[in-house]
């Protein structure tokens, strides 16, 4: 089973994907893999999401498939049963956190405030989704959290784009970003798998430029 650092380091960008027609699920996942992105967060926002998740888990072995938009313990159970290898939530409640911890699956709980980061830290988790990243304050906000709480790694998601991703990825407390831009609704509906592959290639090619560390000890 993958651990959370495998999830965080699988790709610079975790595609956040919403699929209406489960027949599209496997070709979308294959196009992402062909473009160099070996991970997919499938949102539980459509009736057929669990079927899509299951088909990807069964038919695309080259991808790490997880469930996103996990709001309740029951959804977490259903996603795990369908083959999810990791779980992501937009926010977190004590009940959801406690339940997902008992499933022993890598989990990125959503946080947007310092208090929420501290509450999740108390449970022992040190990897979190920062959501909604843009509206909540973007890279300067994450940089500020990193001063008192450097031990948490974030996957900022929500309002992140190919253009804004490098600024997040340059931060020492950001391992990857998430975004829905790799799988535009029009490309999925038109079954334009070539377009999705191109968008994945662009994302996979993102360079990460971290500022050189200053070593106070000399
Ligand atoms: C999510 O659930 O993480 C967001 O819907 C993705 O946000 P984006 O559409 O702004 O990339």
By most ligand atoms within 8 Å of CB, the mutation choice from 131, 188, 199 for ligand 1 is 131
Judge whether 180 lies within some domain. Answer: yes
Three-class SS string for 37-65? CCEEEEECCCCCHHHHHHHHHHHCCCCEE
By most ligand atoms within 8 Å of CB, the mutation choice from 108, 132, 156 for ligand 1 is 132
Judge whether 210 lies within some domain. Answer: no
CA distance 79 to 106: 13
pTM of the model as a whole: 0.94
Exposure pattern of 26-53 as b/e (b: 16+ CB <10 Å)? bebbbbbbebebbbbbbbbebeebbebb
For ligand 1, atom 8, the nearest C-alpha belongs to: 158
For ligand 1, atom 5, the nearest C-alpha belongs to: 158
pLDDT of residue 209: 74
For ligand 1, atom 7, the nearest C-alpha belongs to: 158
pLDDT of residue 207: 76
Backbone angles phi, psi at 121, to 5 degrees: -55, -40
List of residues 6+ apart from 68 with CB closer than 8 A: 16, 41, 42, 43, 44, 88, 89, 90
Ligand 1 neighbourhood includes 68 CB (under 6 angstroms) = yes
Count the Cβ atoms, other than its own, within 10 Å of residue 102.
9
Q: What is the pLDDT of residues 114-148, one digit of tens each?
A: 999 999 999 999 999 999 999 999 999 999 999 99
Judge whether 214 lies within some domain. Answer: no
Check whether the bond before 132 is cis (ω within 30° of 0).
yes
Q: What is the DSSP string of 69-116?
A: ---SHHHHHHHHHHT-SEEE-SS--HHHHHHHHHHT--EE-EE-SHHH
Judge whether 150 lies within some domain. Answer: yes
Nearest alpha-carbon partner for 162 in 206, 192, 194, 195: 206
Length in residues, the chain: 218
pLDDT of residue 214: 53
Judge whether 82 lies within some domain. Answer: yes
Count the Cβ atoms, other than its own, within 10 Å of residue 20.
15
Count the Cβ atoms, other than its own, within 10 Å of residue 54.
18
Number of domains within the chain: 1
Judge whether 212 lies within some domain. Answer: no
Q: What is the pLDDT of residues 62-87, one digit of tens each?
A: 999 999 999 999 999 999 999 999 99
Judge whether residue 160 has pLDDT over 80.
yes
CA distance 214 to 218: 9
Judge whether residue 212 has pLDDT over 70.
no
Task: Check which CATH number belongs to the domain holding 25 and give it.
Answer: 3.20.20.70
185 belongs to the catalytic site: no
pLDDT of residue 213: 54
Q: 């209406």: which residue's tokens?
A: 20
Judge whether 215 lies within some domain. Answer: no
Q: What is the pLDDT of residues 14-28, one digit of tens each?
A: 999 999 999 999 999
Judge whether residue 216 has pLDDT over 60.
no
Choose, from 41, 58, 197, 198, the residue flagged as catalytic.
41
Judge whether residue 47 has pLDDT over 80.
yes
Judge whether 76 lies within some domain. Answer: yes
Beta strands in 86-201 (DSSP E): 86-88, 107-108, 110-111, 127-130, 153-156, 177-179
Expressed as residue numbers, the domain containing 143 is 5-204
pLDDT of residue 15: 98
């Amino acid at each position: 089973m993958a651990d959370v650092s495998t999830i965080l380091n699988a790709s610079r960008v975790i595609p956040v994907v919403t699929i209406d027609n489960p027949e599209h699920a496997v070709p979308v996942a294959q196009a992402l893999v062909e473009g160099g992105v070996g991970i997919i967060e499938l949102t539980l926002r459509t009736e057929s999401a669990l079927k899509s998740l299951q088909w990807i888990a069964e038919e695309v072995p080259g991808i790490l498939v997880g469930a996103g938009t996990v709001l309740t313990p029951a959804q977490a159970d259903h996603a795990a049963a369908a083959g999810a290898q990791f779980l992501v939530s937009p926010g977190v409640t004590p009940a959801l956190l406690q339940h997902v911890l008992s499933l022993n699956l890598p989990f990125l709980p959503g946080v947007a405030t310092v208090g929420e980061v501290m509450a999740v830290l108390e449970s022992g988790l040190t990897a979190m989704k920062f959501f909604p990243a843009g509206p909540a304050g973007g890279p300067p906000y994450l940089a500020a959290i990193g001063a008192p709480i450097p031990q948490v790694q974030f996957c900022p998601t929500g309002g992140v784009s190919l253009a804004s991703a490098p600024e997040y990825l340059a931060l020492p407390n950001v391992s990857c970003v998430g975004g829905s831009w790799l799988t535009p609704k029009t490309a999925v509906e038109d079954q334009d798998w070539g377009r999705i592959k191109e968008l994945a290639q662009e994302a996979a090619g993102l360079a990460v430029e971290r500022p050189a560390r200053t070593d106070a000890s000399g």
